[in-house]
Amino acid sequence: MNNACPECGAVYAVTENDIGRRIACKKCNARLVVAEEGLVKEDAAAAPPRKEDTGERERDRPRRRDDEEREERGSRRKRDRDDDAGDAADAVRKIRGPGMGEYLNKMKGVADLPTWLYGIGLFLTIYGFFSVGLDRATTAGRQGKYESERLDWEVYKRGVNDKPDGKAPSADESKRLDEKEKEWNKSTEPGLMDSVKFAAASEKKAVWYNVMFKMIGFFLLAFGAIGFLKPDESPLKRILGGATILLILLQVIGGGVGINLQMGGGGGAGG
């Protein structure tokens, strides 16, 4: 069917359902009629022959158009509601930040669950082992600082009181020595001693946390290593998982044997 204007060539979407409809060309304002062969000028068009079902089709056309318009309006309203809901969800997401599901998806993109468990467990275990040495080193360092400061003070005091030439200290030297001795006894030495005591107390307090870190790390390492033993994992991961489980068992069994020996030795000594 010809759907172009015979005057200017403007194209329109017409079908057989539009036969008999009169329109005006939006481009050249020509009066057109939709005939069986397509768009023709109104003055040159004869009354289109009506088929037997033309009347029924003409009666049904407004109803079909109304149904189509209602469907289009419903679809448009649904799209608007979906867009509003999406905008609201985006606004809430910006306020609350990314949810746990998004974080988990990002973590899965980096590594699988067994790898994450193994890595976190390894970190906690290493931290638990080395933090004990760090705490001891802190206490030892502060103790060393106190001893160094005390040695400096004793050397200074001996230099003032016991001169190589045997002369007695002058009045100014004795005055400065008395001032420094008062400062040492009042603030310097107590401050250094308090620092050592705080470090020792912190070392004892951290024992519980270190044990917890190692225990949680062992659990995570064990679960991660078990995940590495799946048949679809690479040979390297399976070897690493088996070796890790073996080391954990040796550590647990060795620790239990050590505790039993200590308890047994203590009982024997007491007897």
Distance CA 133, CA 21 (A): 95
Q: What is the CATH number of domain 1-49?
A: 2.20.28.160
pLDDT the model gives residue 75? 75
Q: Which tokens belong to 102?
A: 């998004």
**Mean pLDDT on 171-189:** 90
**Mean pLDDT on 40-57:** 58
The amino acid present at 174, given as its one-letter code, is S
> How distant, in Å, are the alpha carbons of 167, 220, 227 from that of 224?
76, 6, 5
| Inter-residue contact 149 to 183 (CB < 8 Å) | no
0.85 surpassed by pTM: no
Distance CA 223, CA 244 (A): 10
pLDDT the model gives residue 78? 73
What pLDDT band is residue 259 in, cutting at 50, 70 and 90? very low
pLDDT the model gives residue 268? 44
Better-predicted residue by pLDDT, 151 or 26:
151
What pLDDT band is residue 143 in, cutting at 50, 70 and 90? very high
pLDDT the model gives residue 197? 94
**Mean pLDDT on 128-143:** 91
Mean pLDDT, the chain, as a whole number?
78
Indicate if the pLDDT at residue 194 is higher than 60: yes
Q: Find the farthest-apart pair of alpha carbons in the chain and give their distance in angstroms, rounded.
A: 144
In the chain, what percentage of residues exceed pLDDT 90? 22
Distance CA 269, CA 247 (A): 32
Other beta carbons within 10 angstroms of residue 184's beta carbon come to: 18
What pLDDT band is residue 62 in, cutting at 50, 70 and 90? low
What pLDDT band is residue 13 in, cutting at 50, 70 and 90? confident
Identify which of 97, 131, 264 has the alpha carbon closest to the alpha carbon of residue 205.
Answer: 131
What residues form DSSP beta bridges with 41?
A: 32
Better-predicted residue by pLDDT, 41 or 183:
183
**Mean pLDDT on 105-118:** 76
Q: Which tokens belong to 44?
A: 């040159």
Sign of the four-CA dihedral 167, 168, 172, 174: positive
pLDDT the model gives residue 186? 92
- pLDDT tens figures, 63-95: 666 667 777 777 777 777 776 666 665 665 556
Sequence ranges of the domains in the chain: 1-49, 112-258
Better-predicted residue by pLDDT, 73 or 249:
249
Q: Which tokens belong to 223?
A: 């679960």
> How distant, in Å, are the alpha carbons of 106, 119, 150, 154, 160 from that of 176?
67, 60, 17, 14, 10
Instruction: Report DSSP letters for 23-53, one per residue.
Output: EE-TTT--EEEEETTEEEEGGGPPPPPPPTT
pLDDT the model gives residue 58? 56
